[in-house]
Amino acid sequence: MKSAMQIAADVRSGVSSASAELERTLAVVEQRNAELNVFLYVDVDGARAAASVIDSRIARGENVGALAGVPIAIKDNLCQVGIPTTCSSKILEGWRPPYNATVLDKVIAAGAVPVGKTNLDEFAMGSSTENSAFGPTRNPLDPSRVPGGSSGGSAAAVAADMTSISLGSDTGGSIRQPAALCGLVGVKPTYGLVSRYGLIAFASSLDQIGPFSKTVTDSALLLEVLAGHDPKDSTSLPEAAPSLVVHVDDGVAGKRIGLVRELYQGADDSVVASVHAAAQALRAAGAEIVEMSIPELGLTLSAYYLIAPAEASSNLARFDGVRYGLRVKADDVTAMMEATRTAGFGAEVKRRIMLGTYALSAGYYDAYYGQALKVRTLTIDAFARAYQQVDLLLGATTPSVAFAFGDKTADPMAMYLNDVFTIPTNLAGDPALSVPFGTGEGNLPVGVQLLGPGRSEAQLFAAARVLEIADGRP
């Protein structure tokens, strides 16, 4: 499949057209979606109309943007006017938003063609896309295995060559983890760099929207489009989008990169071997590798699974059967809300709402939520100290390659441990990305993770590009 950058260049030059690129995408979706369950909704008519407009504008000599005619898949927790947006939950089945998420407006303004909405773990709560109310998504590299989660559908869309780019959201690793399991580049930007307006919230202090792609350059290109201040989002950084594509080939000569023990300890042997091989590749490219320990990272999984459910219990209170979405009839309002939530929410969502409500309840707030916030502060401080010594950090993205369906569904803790290496960055609000490097069991891809201080995306892309080349991908 062509890269997004190549598609846009071909469409702008007349070598191809937006309509031709879209038809190729729709043909692959038609061929593979029934097997993989990637798209919950394909907007065939809307996408064809959008592609036709782009072709007409190009024929008139207009500049249609950096993503001219590029088909893009959208995670189904991002609002799109008039398009079913469900968060893979029965409680929102059939709901059609009256407005676009800011990131939708940005990709459309840049000339991209939204194809449809992709599957996810319900309300983005999960690491395998097995928690969707509409069935799991399968990993295109091995359909007997999971694609990761929660953005499993967006990852699978790119891995299956349906689209060259897609949008996901990352609360505790939900872009980087499926990127690793599907052999993709996945980016969690600095908190506030990309607007969250129109993202249906899971945990508002942790959620970030970011790109999936097969190449480092495509992710840099898409993040340039997504980034920038949005007055509709009170947490949006008050600054323009950074220049990223021009820095992709900057290299790592003279950089100090920390190899963090806590970011690969306990992973499978093949994953650990890939991390050490990545360190060697960066060293060969001129970086100094510094072996480091950040012990505070060992506390972050516990803190995350108090903070995130607490915020979820507050955010999901809006789904009450009164204003929109599912409503189950009952004798009074209280009974209606209980019946609606019982029927509408899946088991994992209910589990996290109960955990969060308990952590926030009188008598337990200080012991649980309050303590978790203190651990979050310790984590932020620990990262800040680390970045005084080094420019970037290196570790594993996931403890293993993609695992088989059902392997971890019976044990929530085993599932939560899939995010042990990605969660710390969400707590800190810093950027991180996963880039494929090496293979493990079943010749499946391994993702290595690069982490940096706030607003260091350009450096992360440059280091990721070094690894991309060292891994034999031009």
Does the structure show a pLDDT above 90 at 474?
A: no
pLDDT at 73: 99
For 75-97, the pLDDT digits (tens) are 999 999 999 999 999 999 989 99
**Neighbouring residues of 367: CB distance < 8 A, sequence distance ≥ 6:** none
For the chain, the average pLDDT equals 97
**Catalytic pick from 150, 169, 213, 456?**
150
Q: Is 174 a catalytic residue?
A: yes
Q: Is 255 a catalytic residue?
A: no
Q: Sort strands 392-396 and 256-260 into parallel, antiparallel or unpaired.
A: parallel
Domain positions in the chain are: 4-246
Task: Tell me how far apart the alpha carbons of residues 353 and 374 are, in angstroms, rounded to a whole number.
Answer: 21
**Neighbouring residues of 218: CB distance < 8 A, sequence distance ≥ 6:** 3, 4, 5, 164, 165, 185, 211
Does the structure show a pLDDT above 90 at 310?
A: yes
**Neighbouring residues of 463: CB distance < 8 A, sequence distance ≥ 6:** 252, 255, 257, 282, 287, 392, 450
Q: What percent of the chain shows pLDDT beyond 70? A: 100
Does the structure show a pLDDT above 90 at 473?
A: no
- The fold of the 4-246 domain, in CATH, is Amidase signature (AS) enzymes (3.90.1300)
Does the structure show a pLDDT above 90 at 220?
A: yes
**Catalytic pick from 151, 174, 274, 400?**
174
For 421-468, the pLDDT digits (tens) are 999 999 999 999 999 999 999 999 999 999 999 999 999 999 999 999
pLDDT at 200: 98
Burial 99-133 (b: 16+ CB within 10 A, else e): ebbbbbbbbbebbbbbbbbbbbbbbbbbbbbbbbb
For 41-76, the pLDDT digits (tens) are 999 999 999 999 999 999 999 999 999 999 999 999
Does the structure show a pLDDT above 90 at 336?
A: yes
Task: Tell me how far apart the alpha carbons of residues 277 and 470 are, in angstroms, rounded to a whole number.
Answer: 10
Q: Is 213 a catalytic residue?
A: no
**Catalytic pick from 16, 17, 19, 75?**
75
Average of pLDDT values for 268-277? 98
Residues paired with residue 39 on neighbouring β-strands, in sequence order: 118
- Single-letter residue type at 104: L
| Pairs from 285-289 (Cβ < 8 Å, separation ≥ 24) | 285/251, 285/252, 285/253, 285/466, 285/470, 286/251, 286/252, 286/253, 286/254, 286/255, 287/252, 287/253, 287/254, 287/255, 287/256, 287/257, 287/463, 288/255, 288/256, 288/257, 289/257, 289/258, 289/259, 289/394
Average of pLDDT values for 373-380? 98
Burial 255-273 (b: 16+ CB within 10 A, else e): bebbbbebbbbebbebbbe
Task: Tell me how far apart the alpha carbons of residues 426 and 191 are, in angstroms, rounded to a whole number.
Answer: 8
pLDDT at 317: 96
Our CA dihedral for 246, 250, 255, 260, rounded to 10 degrees, sits at: 70
- CA neighbor of 33 nearest in space, from 443, 25, 316: 25
Q: Which two tokens stand for residue 408?
A: 């971890």
For 168-205, the pLDDT digits (tens) are 999 999 999 999 999 999 999 999 999 999 999 999 99
